[in-house]
Structure 1
Amino acid sequence: MSPRRRATAEKSRPSWFWPLAAIVVPATGWFAKIEISGEEHLPAEGPYVLAPNHYSEFDPLILAVATWRLGRAPRFMAKESLFRVPVLGDALRATGMVPVARAASAAAARQTIDQAVALVEHGRGVIVYPEGSLTRDPDMWPMRGKTGAVRLALAGDIPVIPAATWGVQQIMPRYGKLRVFPPRRRVQVLLGPAVDLSAWRGQSTPGALTAATDAVMADVSTLLGRLRDETPPAERWNPAVHGQKETGRLES
């Protein structure tokens, strides 16, 4: 049975998450039997950035349910354009979702700082896929990450909690169709201790952000290796180097 901790105020206080959870949690439970390990690493209160691997269109639901079961409200980064869609934008804002700063500009940097301040001020967490899109690695190992997660974390001195899931590919293969049967497939979720980003605290240069992102991806890969009982590749898949065209990605 997945662990359940005492709910924080953000979960126990009436919000849009209640009706969403009433639908999403049992629906996801049909497809997946979620087993969570390392739950002690997710802060029971205060801000955090949860950084998982990404290899199926279904794995955000797994992370959302796991986070909810651990007593925290699952919030994701979402494309900024979605916040301008009628009704949807209101729902995203009401649930505290975080718009993605897409452009590498002063305005984007200011937005990142504002987002970090808001997370700290309200004691919220956010789930950020550091790869930005489904991994292109042929064996579904994490590929090279983008810097969005660490930029947000370093701007607010917020801990980055690495996470890995495995088994979701049996429910919905990468770029494949949802498999309804058999139900209750085993899905593992493993959280690790906060990534040590102390070497880059207070820095925002491209080199520092890239190095910090590499540290995050190394921890995520290690966690996935534990779930798969395999050794992660020494070199992470780089779409630019391997000539892969990135589609539908979130900009860092």
Structure 2
Amino acid sequence: MSRRRIGFWYRLAAVIAKPPLVVLFKRDWQGLEHIPADGGFITAVNHNSYLDPLSYAHFQYNTGRVPRFLAKAGLFQGSFVGMMLRGTGQIPVYRETTDAMNAFRAAVDAIERGECVAFYPEGTLTRDPDMWPMNGKTGAARVALLTKAPVIPVAQWGANLAMPPYAKENRLRLFPRKTLKVLAGPPVDLSRFEGQEPTPELLREATEVIMAAITELLSEVRGEPVPAALYDYRRARAEQRRKAAEEGSK
């Protein structure tokens, strides 16, 4: 299983994106040694800003192992961004459609070709009020157990300070100059899940192990203790609706 060359389109993307990243931000990169030199693998990354895919991609590009992101299918339609996503081999995700499984098949194929597939297990920007990772979805665990590829947890911090998620004004806050921190850890140990039927319960448990590894790394990056429990967005929304219903009935 060999490593795929970076290719023209990824190099073009780097030529466009790297200069402003280098000029506008400081960098604190750690754990580069955990990115495999050869063979297919998965990275599982926390997501706290619309800017953080560039920060993380810059980090990994410098290892010579470029990530293939799973991204919303709508981003691939037309436009310069869509052209770049297609050219760099990113993987479209068709949410809540019969084509949704195609992304996982494409991810498996990419890993078997010796590539890196990057998962944001949360599936969207974190909604945690304190910017910790939320509960994860099971796609990364499913692909990992199917391919037996190593899962490298990655935590990042700093892009959210330059472009906070869900801010009323999505404008960059460049000054004072922010530090984009990225920390990769050793492969997550999923050996106890291998060789078993991938039931929803098993996949959820494996996902919890992956999310715990990411959260531990983010705790190290932030210099803060790990939260007692990961934020459950669905539960939080249900609680908000319940409270709203109670207020409305008064």
Q: 1:109 to 1:170 in 2, by over 3 A?
A: closer
Query: SS at the partner of 2:154?
Result: strand
CA contact (8 A) 1:163 1:220 kept: yes
Matched AA of 1:231: P
Alignment of 1:126-141 (within 5 A): 126-141=117-132
Deviation at 1:95, TM superposition (A): 1.6
Farther-moved stretch of structure 1 (208-217 vs 235-244): 235-244
Q: Aligned residues, how many?
A: 233
Q: Please, which runs of 5 or more residues in structure 1 have no aligned partner?
A: 1-7, 246-252
Select the structure of larger CA radius of gyration: 2
Quote the Cα distance in structure 1 between the aligned partners of 2:14 and 2:80. 19
CA contact (8 A) 2:32 2:63 kept: yes
Matched AA of 1:125: C
TM-score, normalization by structure 1: 0.83
Query: SS at the partner of 1:29?
Result: helix
Deviation at 1:118, TM superposition (A): 3.0
Q: Which of residues 116, 120, 126 in structure 1 aligns to 2:112?
A: 120
Q: Which residue of 2 aligns with 1:94?
A: 87
Q: Please, which runs of 5 or more residues in structure 2 have no aligned partner?
A: 240-250
Query: SS at the partner of 2:68?
Result: coil
Matched AA of 1:154: L
Q: Which of residues 217, 233, 238 in structure 1 aligns to 2:232?
A: 238
After superposition, the CA RMSD in angstroms is 2.4
Q: Which residue of 2 aligns with 1:175?
A: 166
Farther-moved stretch of structure 1 (110-119 vs 60-69): 110-119
Q: 1:188 to 1:91 in 2, by over 3 A?
A: closer
Alignment of 1:23-102 (within 5 A): 23-83=16-76, 85=78, 91-100=84-93, 102=95
Quote the Cα distance in structure 1 between the aligned partners of 2:160 and 2:78. 31
Q: Which residue of 2 aligns with 1:207?
A: 201
TM-score, normalization by structure 2: 0.83
Q: 1:70 to 1:206 in 2, by over 3 A?
A: same
Deviation at 1:84, TM superposition (A): 5.2
Farther-moved stretch of structure 1 (19-28 vs 169-178): 169-178
Q: 1:140 to 1:130 in 2, by over 3 A?
A: same
Query: SS at the partner of 1:45?
Result: coil
